Amino acid sequence: MSFIKIKEYIHNLNIDEYENVAEQLKDDSRKNVQGLVRKLLNLRHKQEQEIIRVRNMYDFDMNFINTGYLAGVDEVGRGPLAGPIVAAAVIMDLNKFHKDMILEINDSKKLSVKKREELSEIIKEKVIDFNIAIIDNGEIDLKGVGICNQQVLKSAVERLKITPDFVISDGYAIKELNIPNTYAVKGDCKSASIACASIVAKVYRDNLMKKYAKIYPQYHFEHNVGYGSKVHIEALKRYGLTPIHRMSFLKNIL
């Protein structure tokens, strides 16, 4: 079989089949084929490592609950100069993870925009329940970001259609939540549920800021998503505030 035909054949395979194909090709003396064998084995090894990494994240969650539902919750948008805080809560079917793990989940900031978008759709399709909560800049200015941060996490959990039996959040516990809960420092790297919540929240908020970018193009929200980039601050000084800016965050800038 020609090298081109081999590549076409492999293109249609599942990565789980790579090792068997590599075994079949190992005695082919052509250098380009042997390079392909090494590539297949490397990709298969990376997948095996990814399965182990993600399984550990699911196992982390299983340590907190034996029966019932666990919700993971995370927020995004605590620090920007403009736009809302967004939190997401997700309930995963942890009992089925050996057969249907969501690979590549991680701290949303460690993923590319494209990968976050792909994973967000997969997560929303596969989880048992999810909810997104939002607090706008006006309320942040009125109450303070600390209070609003707690409020948005609490709302994300309380408005789930299914009431979880236990909740785990990223970074700090949720106050005044009438459900047993705990937190994990850097939980979006440790917990499958928190990582999924992180991705859903990040994608939702980023897409919201892209919509605002069309209304207020001078601020380039599609790139900085409201954070204090150089371009954003220069636009603030030149054009002033928009209705989505956080006044309480701008005292030392304007």
Give the pLDDT score at 97.
60
pLDDT tens digit sequence for 27-80: 777 777 777 778 777 777 888 898 899 999 999 999 998 889 999 999 999 999
Task: Tell me: is residue 75 an annotated ligand-binding position.
Answer: yes
Domain ranges of the chain: 3-62, 70-201
What is the band of 12 on the pLDDT scale with cuts at 50, 70, 90? confident
Helix 31-62 vs helix 192-215: angle between axes, to the nearest 10 degrees?
100
pLDDT at 11 exceeding the cut of 70: no
pTM: 0.87
In angstroms, rounded to a whole number, what is the distance separating the alpha carbons of residues 47 and 21? 16
CB 137 within 8 A of CB 246: yes
Q: What is the CATH number of domain 70-201?
A: 3.30.420.10
Give the residue among 218, 216, 221 at the shortest CA–CA distance from 205.
221
Give the pLDDT score at 73.
98
131 phi, psi to nearest 5 deg: -150, 145
More confident residue, 9 or 158: 158
pLDDT tens digit sequence for 158-217: 999 999 999 999 999 999 999 999 999 999 999 999 999 999 999 999 999 999 999 999
Give the pLDDT score at 209.
98
What does the buried/exposed string (b/e) look like for 149-162 if buried means 16 or more CB atoms within 10 Å of the residue's CB? Answer: bbbbbbbbbbebee
Give the pLDDT score at 125.
95
Task: Tell me: is residue 74 an annotated ligand-binding position.
Answer: yes
Which range, 4-18, 26-40, 97-111, 184-198, has the best average confidence (pLDDT)?
184-198
CA distance to 82, 86, 217, 249, per residue, from 221 (Å): 9, 16, 7, 16
The percent of residues above 70 in pLDDT, for the chain, comes to: 95
Judge residue 108's burial from the number of C-beta atoms within 10 Å of its C-beta, 0-12 exposed, 13-18 middle, 19 or more buried: buried
What is the band of 130 on the pLDDT scale with cuts at 50, 70, 90? very high
pLDDT at 245 exceeding the cut of 90: yes
pLDDT at 220 exceeding the cut of 80: yes
